[in-house]
Amino acid sequence: MSLTPISPNTENTSRTETPEAQFPEAIQTRIDSSEARVIKAVFPSITNHHNTLFGGEALAWMDETAFIAATRFCRKTLVTVSSDRIDFKKPIPAGTLAELIARVIHVGNTSLKVEVNIYVEDMYQDHREHAIRGVFTFVAVDEQRNPTQVWTYE
């Protein structure tokens, strides 16, 4: 059985950030339950000479959080095949908290895309800002590492 790739219907949205996905109900329910949230403390040992989080460290965190959301969505063996445009909007200084939120945004036949956003939060004040955004693509693979269907309708 062949599936048509599914992306959210975003025509009639008024949000300024990523619009809420309008997937078929079964997939939307799965997406909602697979969202991953991870909070990290930014210590000096993972910062650069500007005392801000190393970009590579942020990318590793994002890939891991995206992987968690993707795995929770399909419960299959997955490999990362690409990271799309990564936008570093704000530096993340030592002594702050970083919250990563990963959510499936596209479901294809053998692949899926996960958007990850990092928010930087002051440890001692109620202040939070969007710092980094990126999209990661995963492919489901079988025991022989060949692409396999990422989602099956039951």
For the chain, give every domain's residue range. 25-140
Q: How high does pLDDT run on average in the chain?
A: 88
Provide the token pair at 148: 């396999």
Q: What is the pLDDT of residue 11?
A: 41
What pLDDT score does 14 carry?
35
Which pLDDT belongs to residue 19?
Answer: 45
Give the residue with greater pLDDT, 15 vs 51.
51
Number of helices and strands in the chain (H, E): 2, 6
pLDDT in tens, 23-74: 788 888 899 999 999 999 999 999 999 999 999 999 999 999 999 999 999 9
25-140 fold: Thiol Ester Dehydrase; Chain A (3.10.129)
**Sequence-ordered list of residues with C-beta below 8 angstroms from that of 38, at least 6 positions apart, any chain:** 61, 64, 65, 68, 99, 100
